[in-house]
Amino acid sequence: MMERLLDVKSLTMDFGGLRAVDQVNLDVCQGEIVALIGPNGAGKTTFFNCITGIYAPSDGEISVIPPGKKPIRINGFKPHKITQAGMARTFQNIRLFPNMTVLENVMLGRHCRTTSKILGAILRGSHTRREEEETVDFSYHLLEKMGLEKYANEFAKNLPYGAQRRLEIARAMATEPFLLLLDEPAAGMNPQETKELDDLITKIKNEEGISILLIEHDMKLVMNISDRIFVMEYGREIAKGTPLEIRENPKVIEAYLGEEVHA
Amino acid sequence: MTSSFFAEKEIYNGLLLSRTIILQELINFLMDYFLELLLGGLTKGSIYALIALGYTMVYGIIELINFAHGEIYMIGAFTALIAASILNMLGLGQITILILASILAIIYSSAYGFTMEKIAYKPLRHSPRLSPLISAIGMSIFFQNYVLLAQTSDFLPFPSLLPEFEFLQPYRHIIRSPEIFILFTTVVVMVLLTVLIKFTKVGKAMRATAQDRKMAMLVGVDVNKIISMTFVIGSSTAAIGGVLIASFIGQINFYIGFIAGIKAFTAAVLGGIGSIPGAVVGSLILGCTESFATGYVLSDYEDVFAFGLLVLILIFRPAGILGKSSSEKV
Amino acid sequence: MLKVNNIQTYYGNIQALKGITLDIGEGEIITLIGANGAGKTTTLMSICGVVPPKQGEIFFRGTPIHNMTTEKIVALGICQVPEGRHIFPGLTVKENLEMGAYLRTDHHGIKTDLEYVLDLFPILAQRRHQQGGTLSGGEQQMLAISRALMAKPRLLLLDEPSLGLAPLIIQQIFEIIRKINSEQKTTIFLVEQNANLALKVAHRGYVMENGTITLADSAANLLDNEDVKKAYLGL
Amino acid sequence: MHIFEEIKKSTITAVWFVFLTFPIMVIRVNTIHKTIEWRWDNMIMVAVGSFALSFVWRYFMEHRQAPKPEAMGRGVPWIQNARQAIKHPVFFYSAIALLTVFAVIFPFIFSRYQVNIMTTALIYVMLGLGLNIVVGLAGLLDLGYVAFYAVGAYSYALLHLHYGLNFWICLPLGAGLAALFGIILGFPVLRLRGDYLAIVTLGFGEIIRLVLENWNEFSKGPSGIAEIPRPPIPGVELSLSESSVFLYFLVIILTLFTVFVVNRLRNSRIGRAWIALREDEIACQAMGVNKTATKLTAFALGATWAGMAGVIFAAKTTFINPASFTFLESAIILSIVVLGGMGSIVGVIASALILILLPEYLRAFSEYRMLLFGAVLVIMMVFRPQGLVSTVRQTYQFKGLKKDKEVG
Amino acid sequence: GKKEEKKAAKAVAPPIKIGVAGAHSGDLASYGIPTVKATELVVKKKNAAGGINGRQIEVLVQDDACKPEFATNAATKLIDDGANVVIGHICSGATKAALSIYKDGKIVTMSPSATNPPLTQSGDYPNFFRTIASDDAQARMEVDFALNTLKLKKIAIIHDKGDYGKGLAEFAREFLGQEKGAEVVLFEGVTPGGLDYSAIVKKIQENGADGVIFGGYHPEASKIVTAMKKKDINIPFISDDGVKDETFIKVAGEYAEGVYATGPKDTSKNPLTIQAIEEHKKAYNEDPGAFFLNAYSAALALVNAIEKSGSTDYDKIVAALRTEPVDTPLGSIKFDAKGDAIGVGFSVYQVQNGAYVEVQ
Ligand SMILES: Nc1ncnc2c1ncn2[C@@H]1O[C@H](COP(=O)(O)OP(=O)(O)OP(=O)(O)O)[C@@H](O)[C@H]1O
Ligand SMILES: Nc1ncnc2c1ncn2[C@@H]1O[C@H](COP(=O)(O)OP(=O)(O)OP(=O)(O)O)[C@@H](O)[C@H]1O
Ligand SMILES: [Mg+2]
Ligand SMILES: [Mg+2]
């Protein structure tokens, strides 16, 4: 049995009268790629927002279990605490720091893993200097891994769309998470680029040992890389299972996939 | 020395009667005080509101704290004063003067608002958010000194143009017709503006422009025209404010806009900036707070109370009383 | 219907379009495909006058539009579903749709069209009074497309309409594209990442690379083209 | 043909301005004496003036660096050619050397008035750089910055008055007290967004001023505190002009210190967090930055500099009253930051010098001084909307991890 | 030959420079600008008559917006520009800030409007003179009038929070505290420039005051008086020099009737006053503003002192100011050792039929 990293029990989120997420259970284990799919407006992004502390969920239990450590119940935690605990995310609508350079975007991801304070910044003692150097080093290597090193000193806003998506992933990885949440990473990419993304995600899982939970509408990608799939509709979980099972599930086909993929 | 009609007198008379009546009198008396403070506060509030409405409109569309809005109000008042003086020489009646002076004030304030937008804000459409703010501060300083130099630094008496209604005479120590007139105008202007923004096509175009200018262009909105129009409407309400307030207070100088402007801006934020009813509600609350702070606590600190209230309300309602906290979708 | 003649467009000093020439006939569906950053969005923005071309000409039904302001161009009957959706976040779904019909004056027609698009996307009907900004990504995309339909344009420019949509809805969108083209005779200019689908629905296509047009052919031929297959279809 | 067009445009402008200025410029009523004066000469002046100026305006409008159209979603690349030239070491160091020499000999070649206003301007440089942390870097619009300035000034005045503390002790104390106030204000209001924060800080600034004005027992109210000593040098008696020279050098040193600190902060872990918060609050939090703590540090640090500047201000004027700490003061400091180019150190220095020295040099125009000042603010913003100097972020090179710094 | 020589000598003689500093911009401009005009009128006349001992007079105008920091800059600027004497500043605060600089530069400074008592009474500023009574003198007079003539028992003291108004109000409170038989039922400040003072007026009534002493300027005074009358509160309203201004009567109109104000002894019939006002009307086509006569007198006093002492030497001017009386619109004045004007009698006025009439 693999170790669990994230355990969500009957998570519920209401917006006024609208129940966007309704008693959803979901878990992610070590070394897994789990996908969350479902029709538009099913509540997937909202689910992400709840478990990363951007919204305070109306009900439910969320725990993260850092590998080899005790579970932490993170309901009501501020986003930065959750990131510190080891869960990082990207956004459906890209949210980079547009007027910072690409490298700085990644360096910001290091914020919660570094410690130098104001006085350190002013005096720039040996500790701070070392830390800065390490930050630059780490960030640069990360950019290399993501194939972004040639943009290092560009402003983030001037990058092509696909590169921006990859930069968001790099920034999230800079926080050294054990679980990475990706919200529609392939949106706006053409089939060729999606293929590259496919390789990248697999590489992150295999080489960095980071588990992944992703939301995606590109079924080719999802079916290719995920170990397990959860399907949501109208806030509720309607199915879960391996890609094969999901592909055949009539409920999912009717609500989401349509005939084409099946055919 | 004519001694005033003392409240004590009533209490004294009450002593001759029974205790319960004393109590009754006391309550009446306190209520009377409360009521008068409340009415005073509402009047003051509606004065703020007339200026706050323009603030909120302009903010609503280009997210600019238009610091020069108070000056537009001041220019409206000056235009009205000049017009009224000339009309007065022609021997026109009071109502005619009021109407004509108001119209001229509206025309000129709008013209100033329009020109100001073209010169100081329009070239800054694509600039960082704070640049037009500084431009607005510059405009405010410019207009103050323009009027100071072209007219005078002194206070000038402003004729009381507002009509007095006969039937209100008996209650005149509580409320007078100018105050009713101001309250009434405020409400009417608010309703008109709300209808304009909420329900008309132009209003929808204004909101669309405010939220996404480029997309508004893409659905065919003439963004420049809409923004100019907003300035014209905002300036017109300021002009109406200028005429009413000046004739209520009875004096103007080049600096009145600045003081009133800051208060009106505070009121607009208190109510939720960008919201038309919010501007009025915020203004009324601000006016009443000041009035009660003076009446029950200490007038030295009336502004401290006003700003303190602002801080308190914003802590609990970060987008003002009627403002919608636009929860950003992530 | 639309003639784009050798336009060059800049962002500051950066040249995004290096002489683009296109033409779109009345009633056609034309698709423009290309890699990220090729300049597809910029082409659409140049046509609409949002980022006016520095050089070159654009004619819409014979009228030169390259020097016109956006709202005048839109008034001629061109409408765009922009990249990034650009929903008016504070307006309700219904108001967003009404903004789409901003330039129309036939109240009756607007009403029937409103019913029509809400019928197409039932989820929008459900969310009718919700603020546009709080919709989910896909819902916003549907709203953006519906808003453009409300304008009843002669020429509809679509920038990646399938972005962020569920597979079922994508199929539906392409059905709609075909339908309004055949029934309402709306000319359509479609920019898509999903080249496969786009080429299936289009009559003709252009391929764009680095700010220039590299290929122009019928959709069927492009689908068979080896280079296209390799670069854009992911085969 | 072209010229004809231009003339037509200018004529229309002139007619419009004649109409616009007609009641205010031409008619002057005096309701005290019921007199009305018609000044037709003003009308002619306006007509001629606006006709001529509209040519100038249009000329510069056409030639100004057109604000780059921002396409949807994505921004514009930054082109900084001139910067390359400035970066050139020979140029850079000789400029620095020249500046140093100039700064050192300045008080000895110019009159005391010049030294005094230069000192004032440098105080504003400090204020500008301090506010720059809050507004420019952290993106928090603070319209009540002058409150912290007041806290600093009154700390010195009152501590001296009641406890006889001297300048050198009060300098850090004043800065510390201001920081404390920054934190006190910061706690409740930092969850407010954008302009709501602005108005609350404005209110806070007013509250501080009103308290100083009303609470006589504490602050001596509107009549202010006089006879505040200038900075002493232990064991040396200074004449008035000597002590203004001394103050000048003191302020130079403190300004350099400020520049040093702000520069270091900007390119540090904290500085990056500030900028990121400004750029996208939600993403920043999601990347593990503690929003409250980070904003509070920005607020407190900004306030510290205001406090320090306040102490020096009190020592310089030797008299303070609440009239020096009005909203207009905050507005001017904010103008310094925005005009300088948000986040840019060199820009802030330049614009502080311009905005503070300008009204002084405009003294020659006496009553038109403030009119011109207002106009200059507008014009500078219109023609340099992004500020005098646009910031450039630090760039890094990775060969052997050597850093190549670039200061904007 | 000779004639030309004389001309040359005249041209060569350096002008005497009179600095004028005060608020000429910002909200307090209306208190500063009249001083500039007064000085210019005096100087123009004097120059037309051949100047002082054959030397022309030049006026240097410096704005301080009533802010201490600008005041110090204005002061150094004036000294740099070679001012021989200074008329100003307008506000007590700015004056205090600037005085040490003038003191250091040995420049005689004469304010037409800075009323803060320590300016003269502290003895710190031997170079300072003024042509206006200090706050305490006025407050004394108001209090005496209220107690002895009007026989008031419960007095509300209101001020405008400014250094002038509040200073005066503080003294009034102090003096009333020393007297028996009357109490201060209310002591509060109103926000200057406020839009509506009905609340404070209501409070005055609520506290049962039978009289009001107001420290401040006419804009606020007229608003308060108007609000009081509109609420039928007909109790005496006593105010100060800042209110004893034609504008007050014009602005408050019928509501001004019955208001008391202290001010320099009735000068309206003084031919110099009439003349000064005429000159102003002729030159500027309007009535003079606040502190005009004080400023006019200050200019006359300084010109006189320079003329009589025959030099621009600091000590000589000071001596002349103290010993040589001069006829001014305020009367024949000279200055005491502390710098206050002797001979400026003060009286209490009341508005009657639209004009100030001396009542005591
Ligand atoms: N802040 C909010 N206020 C009100 N309703 C909201 C809010 N955020 C989301 N919703 C609603 O909740 C539902 C779920 O939205 P969510 O963004 O989670 O969908 P999603 O599954 O991510 O869809 P998509 O695939 O289109 O991105 C949607 O119908 C949306 O309209
Ligand atoms: N606002 C801008 N400022 C500067 N450069 C820009 C801007 N917008 C786009 N660009 C650049 O112009 C080029 C064309 O961009 P465009 O957005 O038109 O590409 P696209 O084909 O639509 O790509 P995508 O598939 O990512 O939408 C790209 O190199 C891009 O980086
Ligand atoms: Mg989503
Ligand atoms: Mg694109």
Q: pLDDT, tens digit, for every residue of D112-123?
A: 888 888 999 999
Q: Is the pLDDT of residue B120 over 80?
A: yes
Q: What are phi and psi of A230, to 5 degrees?
A: -110, 140
Q: How many CB atoms lie within 10 A of CB A152?
A: 20
User: Six-digit token pair at E214?
Assistant: 């107001």
Nearest C-alpha in C relative to B199: C95
What pLDDT does E195 receive?
A: 82
**The pTM is what?**
0.89
Q: Mind listing the pLDDT tens digit for each residue in D345-359?
A: 888 999 998 888 888
Tell me, yes or no, whether C39 and C93 share the same domain: no
Tell me, yes or no, whether C26 and C50 share the same domain: yes
What pLDDT does D406 receive?
A: 40
Q: Is the pLDDT of residue B3 over 50?
A: no
The verdict on D172 touching E (C-beta cutoff 8 Å) is no
Domain's final residue, options C95, C120, C151: C151
Q: Is the pLDDT of residue B2 over 60?
A: no
Which of the residues B199, B218, B328 would you substitute to probe the C interface, choosing the one with the greatest number of C C-beta atoms within 10 Å?
A: B218
D22 contact partners, CB below 8 Å, separation of at least 6: D43
Domain, as residue range, for B98: 35-259
Cβ contact D69–C51 (<8 Å): yes
C115 belongs to a structural domain: yes
C170 belongs to a structural domain: yes
What pLDDT does D68 receive?
A: 45
Cβ contact E30–B253 (<8 Å): yes
Q: Is the pLDDT of residue E266 over 60?
A: yes
Report the percent of chain E where pLDDT is more than 90: 16
C61 belongs to a structural domain: yes
Cβ contact D386–B145 (<8 Å): no
Kindly report the nearest CA distance between residue C109 and chain D, in angstroms. Answer: 31
Count of domains forming chain C: 2
A180 has which bridge partners? A88, A212
**How far away, in angstroms, is B299 Cα from ligand 3 center?**
54
User: Distance between CA D61 and CA D261 in Å, rounded?
Assistant: 38
Which helix (H) or strand (E) element contains residue B76?
helix B69-89
Q: 3-state SS of chain D?
A: CHHHHHHHHHHHHHHHHHHHHHHHHHEEEECCCCEEEECHHHHHHHHHHHHHHHHHHHHHHHHCCCCCCCCCCCCCCCCCHHHHHHHCHHHHHHHHHHHHHHHHHHHHHCCHHHHHHHHHHHHHHHHHHHHHHHHHHCCCCCCCCHHHHHHHHHHHHHHHHHHCCCHHHHHHHHHHHHHHHHHHHHHHHCCCCHHHHHHHHHHHHHHHHHHHHHCHHHHCHHHCECCCCCCCECCECCCHHHHHHHHHHHHHHHHHHHHHHHHHHHCCHHHHHHHHHHHCHHHHHHCCCCHHHHHHHHHHHHHHHHHHHHHHHHHHHCCECHHHHCHHHHHHHHHHHHHHCCCCHHHHHHHHHHHHHHHHHHHHHHHHHHHHHHHHHHHHHHHCCCCCCCCCCCEECCHHHCEECCCC
**How far away, in angstroms, is A12 Cα from ligand 3 center?**
16
Q: Which ligand is nearest to the CA of D71?
A: 2
C108 contact partners, CB below 8 Å, separation of at least 6: none
Tell me, yes or no, whether C146 and C159 share the same domain: no
Tell me, yes or no, whether C19 and C114 share the same domain: no
What pLDDT does D407 receive?
A: 36
C33 belongs to a structural domain: yes
B22 belongs to a structural domain: no
Touch A-B: 3+ C-beta pairs under 8 A: yes
Tell me, yes or no, whether C213 and C166 share the same domain: yes
Nearest C-alpha in D relative to C53: D69
Q: Is the pLDDT of residue D384 over 90?
A: no
User: Six-digit token pair at E314?
Assistant: 């600091």
Tell me, yes or no, whether C166 and C139 share the same domain: no
Q: Mind listing the pLDDT tens digit for each residue in A223-249?
A: 989 999 999 999 899 988 998 888 888
Q: Mind listing the pLDDT tens digit for each residue in D190-245?
A: 778 778 888 889 888 989 999 998 888 888 888 888 888 888 888 777 777 788 88
B178 belongs to a structural domain: yes
The verdict on B283 touching D (C-beta cutoff 8 Å) is no
Tell me, yes or no, whether C163 and C141 share the same domain: no
Question: What is this model's ipTM?
Answer: 0.88
Residues with CB under 6 A from ligand 1: A 15, 18, 20, 38, 40-46, 92; B 327, 329; C 127, 130, 134-139, 164
**How far away, in angstroms, is C91 Cα from ligand 4 center?**
25
Nearest C-alpha in C relative to A17: C130
Report the percent of chain D where pLDDT is more than 70: 88
Which of D72, D76, D79 comes nearest C83 by C-beta?
D72
Q: Is the pLDDT of residue D266 over 90?
A: no
In terms of DSSP H, where are the helices of C104-225?
Answer: 107-120, 122-126, 137-150, 167-183, 195-201, 219-224
The verdict on B127 touching C (C-beta cutoff 8 Å) is no
Atom 8 in ligand 2: residue holding the nearest Cα: D74
Nearest C-alpha in C relative to D67: C12
Q: Which ligand is nearest to the CA of C36?
A: 2
Domain, as residue range, for C36: 2-77+153-233
Q: Mind listing the pLDDT tens digit for each residue in C101-125?
A: 999 988 899 999 999 999 988 889 9
User: Considering just the CA atoms, what is the radius of gyration of chain C in Å?
Assistant: 17
The verdict on D294 touching A (C-beta cutoff 8 Å) is no
Q: What is the CATH number of the domain that holds C180?
A: 3.40.50.300
What pLDDT does B5 receive?
A: 41
Q: Mind listing the pLDDT tens digit for each residue in D131-188?
A: 999 998 888 889 999 999 999 999 999 999 899 888 999 999 999 999 999 998 888 8
Tell me, yes or no, whether C228 and C160 share the same domain: yes
Touch E-C: 3+ C-beta pairs under 8 A: no
Tell me, yes or no, whether C159 and C172 share the same domain: yes
Burial (CB < 10 A; 0-12, 13-18, 19+), residue C106, is exposed
Instruction: Give the pLDDT band of residue D394 (cuts 50, 70, 90).
Output: low
Residues around ligand 3, an ion, CB closer than 5 A: A 45, 92; C 136-137
Cβ contact C99–B214 (<8 Å): no
Q: Mind listing the pLDDT tens digit for each residue in D173-193?
A: 999 999 999 998 888 877 787
The verdict on E4 touching D (C-beta cutoff 8 Å) is no
C22 has which bridge partners? C4
Checking DSSP bridges between strand C63-64 and strand C55-60, what pairing results, if any?
antiparallel
> Would you say D356 and D349 are in contact if contact means Cβ atoms under 8 Å apart?
no
Q: Is the pLDDT of residue E168 over 50?
A: yes
Count of domains forming chain B: 1
What pLDDT does B173 receive?
A: 63
User: Six-digit token pair at E157?
Assistant: 């003291």
Instruction: Give the pLDDT band of residue A255 (cuts 50, 70, 90).
Output: confident
SS3 C23: strand
Chain D neighbours (≥3 Cβ pairs under 8 A) are A, B, C, E
User: Distance between CA D34 and CA D43 in Å, rounded?
Assistant: 22
Burial (CB < 10 A; 0-12, 13-18, 19+), residue E258, is middle
User: Distance between CA B94 and CA C13 in Å, rounded?
Assistant: 63
The verdict on B305 touching D (C-beta cutoff 8 Å) is no
SS3 A152: coil
Q: Mind listing the pLDDT tens digit for each residue in A117-164?
A: 888 778 777 888 888 888 888 888 889 888 888 888 888 888 877 888
Q: Diameter of chain E by CA atoms?
A: 82
Q: Is the pLDDT of residue D76 over 50?
A: no
B279 belongs to a structural domain: no
Ligand 1 nearest atom to the CA of residue A47, by list position: 18
Which helix (H) or strand (E) element contains residue E221?
helix E218-230
Q: List residues of chain D with CB under 8 Å from any CB of chain C.
A: 68-69, 71-73, 76-77, 79
Q: Mind listing the pLDDT tens digit for each residue in E273-282?
A: 889 989 998 8
Which of the residues E37, E203, E212 would you substitute to probe the B interface, choosing the one with the greatest number of B C-beta atoms within 10 Å?
A: E203
Tell me, yes or no, whether C57 and C157 share the same domain: yes
Show residues of chain B in contact with D192, CB under 8 Å. 314, 318
Q: Is the CB of D69 under 6 A from ligand 2?
A: no
Which of A92, A184, A256 comes nearest C167 by C-beta?
A256
Q: What is the mean pLDDT of chain C?
A: 89
Ligand 1 nearest atom to the CA of residue C139, by list position: 26
Q: Is the pLDDT of residue E214 over 50?
A: yes
| Range of weakest confidence among A32-36, B143-147, E123-127 | E123-127
Tell me, yes or no, whether C68 and C170 share the same domain: yes
Q: What is the mean pLDDT of chain D?
A: 83
Q: What are phi and psi of E238, to 5 degrees?
A: -115, 130
C82 belongs to a structural domain: no
Q: Is the pLDDT of residue B10 over 70?
A: no
Domain's final residue, options C132, C151, C170: C151
User: Can you list the residues of chain C whose pLDDT is less than 50?
Assistant: none
Amino acid, single-letter form, for residue A9: K
Beta strand residue intervals within D328-371, DSSP E: none
Nearest Cα residue to A6 out of A203, A183, A225, A180: A180
Instruction: Give the pLDDT band of residue D102 (cuts 50, 70, 90).
Output: confident
Atom 25 in ligand 1: residue holding the nearest Cα: A40
Nearest C-alpha in D relative to A154: D77
Q: Is the pLDDT of residue A66 over 90?
A: no
More confidently predicted of E232 and B186: B186
Q: Probe ligand 2: pick from A94, A96, A158, max atoms within 8 Å of CB?
A: A158
Strand ranges of the sheet holding C55-60, from the earlier edge strand across to the other edge? C14-24, C2-11, C55-60, C63-64
Q: Is the CB of C46 under 6 A from ligand 2?
A: no
Q: What are phi and psi of C104, to 5 degrees?
A: -90, 150
Which of A15, A93, A256 comes nearest C137 by C-beta?
A93
Chain A neighbours (≥3 Cβ pairs under 8 A) are B, C, D
Tell me, yes or no, whether C52 and C98 share the same domain: no
Show residues of chain B in contact with A92, CB under 8 Å. 330
> Would you say B306 and B76 are in contact if contact means Cβ atoms under 8 Å apart?
no
- Please provide the DSSP assignment of B103-133 as one string: HHHHHHHHHHHHHHIIIIIGGGTTS-THHHH
More confidently predicted of D109 and B208: B208
Domain's final residue, options C123, C151, C179: C151
User: Distance between CA D183 and CA D203 in Å, rounded?
Assistant: 16
User: Distance between CA E108 and CA E321 in Å, rounded?
Assistant: 10
**How far away, in angstroms, is C57 Cα from ligand 4 center?**
21
Q: Mind listing the pLDDT tens digit for each residue in E57-68?
A: 999 998 888 888
